[in-house]
A and B are shown apart, each in its own frame.
Chain A
Amino acid sequence: MKRRKEKNKQKFTIGMRKKLVVLFVLVLLAFVGLGVRLILITKNNGEEYQKQVLSQQQYDSTTIPFRRGEILDANNTILAYSEKVYNVILDAKILLRDSKYLDPTIKALVRCFGLDGGDIRNYLSEHPSSQYYILAKKLTYSEISEFQGLITPGSETYDENIQGIWFEESYIRKYPNGSLASDIIGFTSSDNTGMYGLEEYYNSTLSGTPGREYGYLDDDSNLERTTISATDGDSIVTTIDGNLQTIVEKHLYEFNEQYKNNAREGNGANNVGCIIMDIHTGEILAMASYPNFDLNNPRDTAALIGMPAVDEKGNKVKGESVYDSGVYITEEMLQNFTDEQLYQNYNALWKNFCIADTYEPGSVAKPFTVATGLESGSITGDEVYNCLGKLEVGGWEIKCHNTYGDGAVSVSRGIEISCNVAMMYVAQAIGVNTFTKFQKDFGFGLKTNIDLAGEARTEGLTYSASNMTSTDLATNSFGQGFNVDMIEMITAFSSLINGGYYYEPHVVKKVVSSSGATIKNIEPRILRQTISQSTSDKIIEYCNQVVAGSEGTGKTARPAGYMIGGKTGTAQTLPRGNHQYVVSFMGYAPASDPDIAIYVVVDRPNVLYQDDAKFATRIVRAILTEALPYLNYPMTEELSEKEKAELETLREQLVTTAVAEEEQEENPEEVTEEAGETEEETTEAPEEKERNSIWESFDKDPTTGYYVDPSNGNLIDPDSGSVVGGDELPDFEGVPEEAASASSSN
């Protein structure tokens, strides 16, 4: 100890102590300086930084997508569903943490997803700090399951060297039946928003609530990660019968195949639409139009070819002459389309013809005129009118389709042979006030409020009592001069034949939660009573004559083995004299006790002479021949040999239906041509021989089989007696209100 003390005698000097104090003062100053700096940061930037910190926190949560509800048909067949898909995301920062991760990860990516390893390496070297890069999009679970095993700790194939890859979930909308019911269903845009049809109308029902995954601090200030799972959207069960819908679409397609590129290059008609409705509930059983489109690929330009082109307002582009039905889209036109033009035409394709397009209904309006007369007491139904082929009303000479006159026409015969003159007399008896009131009751000029997006607004397309002239009344009586859409017509017609109950039409009958529980049942809703039961019975009686009567204009609509009723229509379009027609048939089955209504409209068939309702009745016949047995209605009529053979071939086809339909969807070029249709015409013809009208004494044109009027050379349809394509009526172009001319009907 002593030794040590001697050695270390060196003491801490006063000078050193002073310097030590100086050092301490320097340290003190530094501390003060830093303290001041801390205070300044808090004071000057505190608020801004606080906001920054809070705003940064939000990035810490992620959104979990919801699953969009399904769309089912009445038999719970899936029409639309959402499938979970996965995007493969590369987090370069995590992958590049250690070089040992690189090779195994890239190898696994190449093996599982067939990605190009070189591309990934390039990306990694160029963006080493990227945290979000999509390597592959929309893979199904089976495609990712192998890789999922590699990155899931605890699984057998887990490889800890595979890093920086994760899967982002999302959903894609799938339509297993392709184009089936495309107009009703509609589709979704990429952000899960419905476009057109049910997808748009029921968008909020089908959409769920996205979930969220986020971190928060619990009471003990631990960070908890919490997941609020997404609420999946509700599913909707429609009233559509998938099988019936398939039958309808098959025949619309066949019609198109038969008449496309016939008189002109283009589809079989500008539009063909068909609605089948349950008249006791207002449920839509089938609704289709042609052209349709593939819901899985709505932007397929091939579907546009043959359609009449439309301009920016959605109106059809006019052809060079008034006789042209439109300008039809061809391959070359598509190539020259601007994006805008392309979308105009897509919109024309995607919209639902059955609810969105308005037209003059033509003679299918005649039952409404008669019903109005009977219900209002203006006529008794026992009246007999004298048809001279024309009637002068308000200074205009308005002609019947048979300009030679049909002589004595009772109310019943007026419907059966579709006599314009008789209807004009009925309308005169009704008067403007009652006529317009009943039109409103039937819903003309009002929306039906069907639960589909895009229903046309028809307000203003009908007359009100104050602005209706006697000429307007006369032309309205046979369905010219006012515009309707298909759903309006069939909804009103259903009320004529079901005892007068006007049901609100609907497509969805049930909303079901994602777990399968029923959330809402949509019951049939009667809006009003249009006519009485007795009037309804009389209308059925008259309409049955259209198909069953000897002079009936709708005989060709009768399916083999059944009796139906209905009314044909051949409406002139504007401008008058353009030889353009909208032909239609509106009917019901069975004839004795109607259950279902069917309405087929052919807008400007692709034929030389368009004014022939048979273009519509044949479609009705073809559809009902298949549909009525499917709906289990017993046959009431005897079958002719021809019909037996026809049903036999049909049955053979039905066996292979499933296969045939598959092919149709994938390869629309392959068509199974049905020969029965054309034969039908000839079989019906001989039965009409009993008739004896003036025009039947004319000579027949050898090439067309039509009669020729010796006085002016006009061709006359042998079935109806109407002048073919001959608009001998004055052209009222420019003043359509008065125009109302009329060789409507069939």
Chain B
Amino acid sequence: MERVRTLRKPKVESYIDYSLVFIVLFLLAFGLVMLYSTSSYEANLDYGDSAYYFKHQLGPTIIGLGAMLFMSYFPYRILKKFAFPIYVIAAGMLLLLIPLGKTINGAKRWLYVGSISIQPAEVAKFAVIVFSATLVISLKKKLLDPKGFGTMLAFPAFLSLLVYGITKNLSSAIIIMGIAVVMLFVSTPGYKRYVIAALSVLALATVIVLIVANSADSSGMNYRFKRILVWLDPAAYASGKGFQTIQALYAIGSGGIFGKGLGESMQKMGFIPEAQNDMIFSIICEELGLFGAIAVMLMFLLLIWRLMVIANNAPDMFGALLVIGVMGHIAIQVILNIAVVTNTIPNTGITLPFISYGGSAVIVQLAEIGVALNVARNIGR
């Protein structure tokens, strides 16, 4: 490192993408404010401390900023060497959940190291970005063969299956697969197969929805299928499975154009369960209105745009792929989260990056931004 820096210093000024840094810091600060606003009522009821969730998010955010800073100085090219170990560590952590994981709400999702809890699924997202980028680089032209294409999909698919099999977390599994597919989409020429794949997934989803919607008896159904019924008509399940969805819709609808004002949400008072997690966007809508919601979406769009710019100007293919992975990760999560909150797709637990409550997620996401910043640093070099 030292050597690298001393060598370069006289040659070029290192490029720092300030707009990306600003956007991320804005989202983090905004996220903490909204998290406090959203969770203070329930935190006070459950823990007697209205800042409970705020405090528990502040620590990981600071650690995440440290990780971002570290990764922005950590030469991304070295990651290539660590790609396979990272993949193995992620898979190993997932497997460790089987004996060590603590069951909360019927699913094993957290590993406890002392008082710190880690969510291996978040680590797996990072692992899949690094590993897929490395795989694309090493496969090169072979990527165009069915075999290479298959290999490229197999590794993320394995991780994704582990996540789904062990943590029963479908949304994380979808995100992991989604990141790999996005990276593959950019790194291979042609649209035909992607359009066909997208259409067939769409067709399959339509068929499933039609079957579920027309089945007479819903009692024996898997809860995922029931969620489809809820999605189709949330009001019919308003007191049961559709409660969260319909309450989120109430929150969005009642906010109006400029919202009720920061902290003025009524829905956060017990009506939207755990609003600080998946449903925080609905509270943003309620308190800040359409204006605030669209401003937040624009910030995310800017973030994604900055990432695209970095990828386009990346000094090499690996850097570009890493940034595309990060971009895909954030884009997929934001889109799916808002789609769930607005009941555009069936309910599945997806958090809003940088804003929702969750320590592991914010650390991993900030580390990913750090990687992107490091790639940006090397632009023009």
| Residues in B76-102 with C-beta less than 8 Å from chain A | 77
Cβ–Cβ < 8 Å partners of A53 in chain B? 250-251, 254, 266-267, 271
Question: Complex: how many Å from CA A24 to CA B262?
Answer: 32
* A129 and chain B: residue at smallest CB distance: B240
Q: A40-72 toward B: CB 8 Å interface, digit per residue (1/0)?
A: 011001101110111011001000000000000
Number of interface residues of A (CB under 8 A): 46
Chain A nearest CB: distance from B310 CB in Å? 11
Interface: B157 (CB within 8 A): no
Consensus secondary structure, chain A interface: helix
Q: B164-186 toward A: CB 8 Å interface, digit per residue (1/0)?
A: 00000000000000000010011
* A24 and chain B: residue at smallest CB distance: B308
Number of interface residues of B (CB under 8 A): 63
Question: Complex: how many Å from CA A30 to CA B345?
Answer: 13
| Residues in B287-312 with C-beta less than 8 Å from chain A | 289-290, 293-294, 297, 300-301, 304-305, 308, 311-312
Chain B nearest CB: distance from A701 CB in Å? 85
Cβ–Cβ < 8 Å partners of B186 in chain A? 16, 19-20, 23
Flag if B338 contacts A34 (CB, 8 Å): yes
Flag if A34 contacts B342 (CB, 8 Å): yes
Flag if B269 contacts A45 (CB, 8 Å): no
| Residues in B146-172 with C-beta less than 8 Å from chain A | none
Flag if A221 contacts B342 (CB, 8 Å): no
| Residues in A466-502 with C-beta less than 8 Å from chain B | none
Interface: B74 (CB within 8 A): no
Chain A nearest CB: distance from B312 CB in Å? 5
Q: B10-53 toward A: CB 8 Å interface, digit per residue (1/0)?
A: 00000000000000000000000000010011001000001000
User: Chain A interface: which of B62-70, B113-121, B316-324?
Assistant: B316-324
Question: Complex: how many Å from CA A50 to CA B266?
Answer: 10
Cβ–Cβ < 8 Å partners of A49 in chain B? 249-254
Flag if A17 contacts B312 (CB, 8 Å): yes
Cβ–Cβ < 8 Å partners of B252 in chain A? 38, 41-42, 49
Q: Which of B41, B140, B256 contacts A46 (CB 8 A)?
A: B256
Interface: A1 (CB within 8 A): yes
Chain B nearest CB: distance from A159 CB in Å? 19
Flag if B77 contacts A8 (CB, 8 Å): yes
Interface: A37 (CB within 8 A): yes
Question: Complex: how many Å from CA A35 to CA B285?
Answer: 11
* B308 and chain A: residue at smallest CB distance: A24
Flag if B253 contacts A34 (CB, 8 Å): no
Given contacts A10-B318, A46-B253, contact A41 B342 (CB under 8 A): yes
Question: Complex: how many Å from CA A35 to CA B317?
Answer: 33
Cβ–Cβ < 8 Å partners of B254 in chain A? 46, 49-50, 52-53
Flag if B266 contacts A57 (CB, 8 Å): yes
Question: Complex: how many Å from CA A22 to CA B328?
Answer: 13
Consensus secondary structure, chain B interface: helix
Question: Complex: how many Å from CA A215 to CA B270?
Answer: 12
Flag if A42 contacts B290 (CB, 8 Å): yes
Question: Complex: how many Å from CA A267 to CA B271?
Answer: 63
Given contacts A37-B344, A49-B249, contact A20 B271 (CB under 8 A): no
Question: Complex: how many Å from CA A277 to CA B236?
Answer: 68
Cβ–Cβ < 8 Å partners of A41 in chain B? 249, 252-253, 342
Question: Complex: how many Å from CA A578 to CA B342?
Answer: 86
Given contacts A23-B185, A31-B335, contact A8 B251 (CB under 8 A): no
* A54 and chain B: residue at smallest CB distance: B266
Interface: A228 (CB within 8 A): no
* A57 and chain B: residue at smallest CB distance: B266
Question: Complex: how many Å from CA A216 to CA B33?
Answer: 21
Q: Which of A24, A57, A60 contacts B304 (CB 8 A)?
A: A24
Question: Complex: how many Å from CA A24 to CA B186?
Answer: 11
Q: B255-276 toward A: CB 8 Å interface, digit per residue (1/0)?
A: 1110001111011011100000
Cβ–Cβ < 8 Å partners of B262 in chain A? 221
Q: Which of B240, B267, B305 contacts A24 (CB 8 A)?
A: B305
Flag if B189 contacts A15 (CB, 8 Å): yes
Flag if A222 contacts B40 (CB, 8 Å): yes
Cβ–Cβ < 8 Å partners of B290 in chain A? 38-39, 42
Flag if A16 contacts B253 (CB, 8 Å): no
Flag if A31 contacts B297 (CB, 8 Å): yes
Chain B nearest CB: distance from A214 CB in Å? 11
Chain B nearest CB: distance from A4 CB in Å? 6
Interface: A429 (CB within 8 A): no
Interface: B277 (CB within 8 A): no
| Residues in B198-256 with C-beta less than 8 Å from chain A | 240, 249-256
Q: Which of B266, B270, B324 has the most CB of A within 10 A?
A: B266
List A residues at the B interface (Cβ < 8 Å). 1, 4, 8-12, 15-17, 19-24, 27-28, 30-31, 33-35, 37-39, 41-42, 45-46, 48-50, 52-54, 56-57, 60, 129, 215, 217, 220-223
27 contacts across the A-B interface (CB closer than 8 A)? A8-B316, A10-B137, A10-B317, A11-B316, A12-B316, A19-B186, A20-B308, A21-B308, A22-B191, A24-B308, A27-B301, A30-B335, A31-B334, A37-B344, A38-B338, A41-B249, A41-B252, A41-B253, A42-B253, A42-B290, A46-B255, A48-B253, A49-B249, A50-B256, A52-B254, A57-B269, A60-B270
List B residues at the A interface (Cβ < 8 Å). 4, 7, 37, 40-41, 44, 50, 77, 137, 140, 182, 185-187, 189, 191, 240, 249-257, 261-264, 266-267, 269-271, 285, 289-290, 293-294, 297, 300-301, 304-305, 308, 311-312, 314, 316-318, 320, 324, 327-328, 331, 334-335, 338-339, 342, 344
Given contacts A12-B314, A223-B44, 14 further A-B contacts (CB under 8 A): A8-B137, A16-B187, A20-B186, A20-B324, A23-B328, A24-B304, A27-B304, A34-B338, A42-B289, A46-B254, A57-B269, A217-B264, A221-B264, A222-B40
Which 7 A-B residue pairings sit nearest by Cβ, starting from the closest? Answer: A49-B253, A221-B263, A10-B317, A50-B254, A12-B320, A8-B316, A49-B250
